[in-house]
Amino acid sequence: MEGRPVSTPVIAVLLGGTSSEREISLGSGRACALALARSFPTCEIDVTADAVPAGLDPARQVVFSTLHGGFGENGGMQRALEAAGIEYAGCGVAASALTIDKTQTKAAVAAAGVQVSPGLAFTAERKPAAAALAAQLPGPLVLKPNDQGSSVGLYMIDGSAALEAALREVQAGNWLVEQRITGRELSVGVLHGRAMGVVEIRPKSGVYDYSSKYTKGLTEYLAPAPLGDALTRTVQQAAETAFAACGCRDYARVDFMLGLENIPFFLEINPLPGMKETSLLPMSACCAGMDFTALVREMVGPALQRFQTVAALLRP
**pLDDT, tens digit, 9 for 90 and up, residues 260-298:** 899 999 999 999 999 999 899 999 999 999 999 999 999
How large a percentage of the chain has pLDDT more than 70? 93
> Which residues are known to be catalytic?
21, 150, 214, 253, 255, 268, 270, 274
How confident is residue 86, by pLDDT bands cut at 50, 70 and 90?
A: very high
Confidence band of 196 (pLDDT split at 50, 70, 90): very high
Q: Is 277 exposed, middle or buried (0-12, 13-18, 19+ CB in 10 A)?
A: middle
What's the pLDDT tens digit per position in 134-143?
999 988 999 9
Q: What share of the chain is helix, strand, coil (3-state, %, to 5)?
A: 35, 25, 40
Residue 76 has pLDDT above 80, yes or no: yes
Better-scored residue on pLDDT, 184 or 214? 184
Q: What is the pLDDT of residue 152?
A: 60
- pLDDT for residue 33 is more than 70: yes
Give the number of other CB atoms < 10 A from CB of residue 16: 21
Tell me the mean pLDDT in the region 156-182. 93
> Once rounded to an integer, what is the mean pLDDT over residues 161-165?
94
Three-class SS state of 242: helix
Q: What is the pLDDT of residue 311?
A: 77
Mean pLDDT of the chain: 92
Give the chain's radius of gyration (CA, Å).
20
**Residues whose CB falls within 8 Å of the CB of residue 168, separated by 6 or more in sequence, listed in order:** none
In the chain, what are the domains? 10-90+293-314 (3.40.50.20), 98-115+182-271 (3.30.470.20), 128-179 (3.30.1490.20)
Q: Kindly tell me if the per-residue pLDDT of 1 is higher than 50.
A: no
Helix (H, G, I), strand (E, B) or coil at 99: helix
Alpha-carbon dihedral sign for residues 175, 257, 248, 59: positive
Give the pLDDT of residue 8: 84
Phi and psi angles of residue 88, each rounded to the nearest 5 degrees, phi first: -145, 155
Q: Is residue 149 very low, low, confident or very high in pLDDT (cuts 50, 70, 90)?
A: low
**pTM recorded for the entire structure:** 0.92
Mean pLDDT over residues 149-160, rounded?
A: 78
Give the model's pLDDT for residue 212: 67
> pLDDT confidence of 4, banded at 50, 70, 90?
low
- The answer to whether the beta carbons of residues 213 and 76 sit under 8 Å apart is no
3-state secondary structure (DSSP) of residue 114: coil
How many CB atoms within 10 Å of residue 161? Answer: 10
Q: Say which DSSP state 88 is in.
A: B
* pLDDT exceeds 50 at position 230: yes
